[in-house]
Amino acid sequence: MTQEPANNQPATTETTPLIPFPLTTARALTTGCAALTALSTFTAWTWTTAFPGNLTINGYPGGLQLLTLTGALLTLLHTLAARGTPGLRWLNPAGGNRATLLLATGTLATTWYTLIAIAVQLGGIVNLEPGGYLAAITSLLTLLSALALPLERRTLTSHPDTDTPATPTLLHNLLRTLRPGTTPHPPPPARPLPPWAEILVIAAVFALALGVTTYGIGTSYGELFTGFLLLTGFTAAALHQAGLTARLTQLTAKHRNITIATAFIAAAVFPFTQDTDEYTLIIVNILIFATVALGLNVVVGLAGLLDLGYVAFLGVGAYTAALVSGSTASVFHIHFPFWAAALTGAAASLIFGVIIGAPTLRLRGDYLAIVTLGFGEIFRITVNNLDGHSGPSLTNGPNGIPNIPDLVLFGYNFGDSHTLGGLTLNAYANYYLLMLLFTVIVVLVFSRASNSRIGRAWIAIREDETAATAMGINGFRLKLLAFALGACLAGLAGTVQAHVIHTAVPESYVFAGPVPPNSAFLLAAVILGGMGTITGPLLGAALLYLIPAKLQFLQDYQLLAFGAALILLMRLRPEGIIPNRRRQLEFHEPAPAEGATP
C-alpha cells in the first residue's frame, strides 16, 4: 500500500504481511475479535468456585478475567489508534501495529494461562464453561488477525515505483517485534503542550504506576500474580513499541526536578494504600535488596569488578548494628542511637572493603571472582565460629544476635503505630519510609559518582583497564575506591535490615540460598535490570524478590528458575531490561538505513 509523494516529499509504504487479507479486513477482524474477547469476560469460564477468583458469575468479571478484559480493551484501543481514529492517535505516536501485536499476544497468554490452570487444577477441560471456550477462540483470532497487520510504516527515499518493500512471512512479523534490540522508529515531534499539562501527564503516569504496583503486590493468589506478570510484561513492551515510553522520557527530561519529586511522593504514598503490614514488609525487603544491588552496581556495573561475596558487606553492617544497638544478646551491652549505629555499620563495612580489596584488587576477571567468593564464605564461617566455643564469644554462633530493639529516632519509635493527619502508619510502614529515604540517598550517591570524573574513570577501567592505565588512570586506587564505596552502601542497608528483622544470623549472608538477598541474587538483579543504570537494579531486585514471595511453589525451584531466567536473558536481551545506552550499542548493531546495501 503506497501513497503518492506530494510536493517532492518521500512517499510512505506499509510492510505487507503474507496473509492475503486486505488491510481493512485485518483491522476489522482485530477490532471485532478484541471486542468479543472483552465481552467473553462477562460470561462464566468455569462452573465451580474451587478455582480462585470466582469465575462462575455471568455479567461480572472477576479474578483473572479482569486481566483479560484489560488486555482486550488495550488491544482494541491501539488497533483504533493505529488506523488513525481521532482522539486516540496519541496512544500510538510511533505508528504501525507493533503495539497491537504485543498486546494481542499478552491477552492470549493471560487468557490461555487461566484456562489451562483451570483445566489442570480442576481435572480437565470439562470444567470449562462456554464463556471460557469463547475467550480462548476470540483471543487466538485476535492474535492471528493482528499478525496480518503491517508492522510499521517506512519512508521511501526513492520513487515508489522502483523501491518495493520486502514481504515478510507471518512468523517473521512476530519475531521482528519480539527479537532483542528491536526498537520502534522515532516518533514524530509531539504537539507542544502547556507546562501545566505536561506536569499533569507526569503526575498521572506515576499515579497509574502506583496503582498497578499496588494491585500486583496485593494479588491474593499465585495464579492471579502470574497472569498479572504476563500482561504487564507484554503491555510494557507494547508501550515502548508505540513510542509512548520515548514521549514520557522527553517529558521527564524536560521536567527533571518535578519528575523526581513526583516519583518520591508516589513511593511515599504506598504504605497509606495498605490496611495491613503483610505487603508493606515485602516492599521494605525489596528496598533493602534494591539498595544493596545499587551498591553492587558501583562495583560491577561501573568498575567492572566481578564480586561474588558482596552480601558479606551487608552482613558486616547488620552484625555491627546488632552489637551496638542494645540487643540483649550483644556482648558489648551498649545502645547507640540509630544515627550512630548506622554510621558505625557503614564504617565497619567500608573498613572491611578496604582490607579485602587492598590485597586482591590487583587480580582481574575470574581470579577476582574466586577471591571474593572465598571472602563471602570466610565471613559466614567466621560468624558461625565466634560463639564462645569454637572461637571468641562475639556473634553467638549459628543462633545469631536476636532481640534487636526497634529503632528510635528523635523520640519516634519505629516499632509503634503512629497517626499522622488522620492516617495510621504501622510499624513496617515506618521502616518503609526510612528505607525509602536511604534508597534516595544511595541513588543520589550512585548518580553523582557515575557522572563524575571518577565515574568516567571507572567506566574506562571496565572497558579496558590496560588502555585506561596507559592514559594515566590509577587503576588500583580507583578500583579500591569503588570496592570501598560499594561496601559502605551495603553496610548502611545492613543496619536497617538488622532492625527490620530484629535478628542477625549467618544463614542470611550466603552466596546462594532460598531467601534473598544473597550474592547470587544480588548479582542477578544487577545483570537482569541493566548494569550501570539506576532504575535497572531497582527493577531487577524487585522482580527477583517479589516473584518467589508471591509464587510459593517456586521456593523449592528458585535456583532452577533463576538459571533458566539468566539463560533466556543472555539470549534475548543481554544488556538487561533497562539497558545502559553504551552497553546496548555494544550488544546490538544499529539497523541499516532504508535502501542501504548490507
Instruction: Quick: pLDDT tens for 24-53.
Output: 888 899 999 999 999 999 999 999 888 988
Q: How many CA atoms lie within 13 A of 589 on its CB side?
A: 4
Instruction: Quick: pLDDT tens for 449-463.
Output: 888 899 889 888 888
Cβ neighbours around 389 below 10 Å, total = 9
Residue type, 284: V
So what's the pLDDT on residue 74? 94
How far is Cα 459 from Cα 470, in angstroms, rounded to an integer? 15
Q: Tell me phi and psi for residue 184, to 5 degrees.
A: -70, 160
Instruction: Quick: pLDDT tens for 308-340.
Output: 888 899 999 999 998 988 888 788 888 888 888
So what's the pLDDT on residue 27? 87
Q: Tell me phi and psi for residue 511, to 5 degrees.
A: -70, -45
The answer to whether 518 and 511 have CB atoms below 8 angstroms apart is yes
Opening angle at CA 78, ends 74 and 83, nearest 5: 155
SS (H, E, C) 158-182: CCCCCCCCCCCCHHHHHHHHHCCCC
Q: Which residues of the chain have pLDDT under 70?
A: 1-21, 152-190, 421, 513-516, 553-556, 558, 581-598
SS3 111: helix
So what's the pLDDT on residue 4? 41
Beta strands 412-413 and 418-420: pairing type? unpaired
Q: Tell me phi and psi for residue 147, to 5 degrees.
A: -70, -20
Grid cell locating 208 = 497509574
Sign of the torsion angle spanned by Cα atoms 135, 138, 141, 143: negative
Say what the pTM is: 0.81
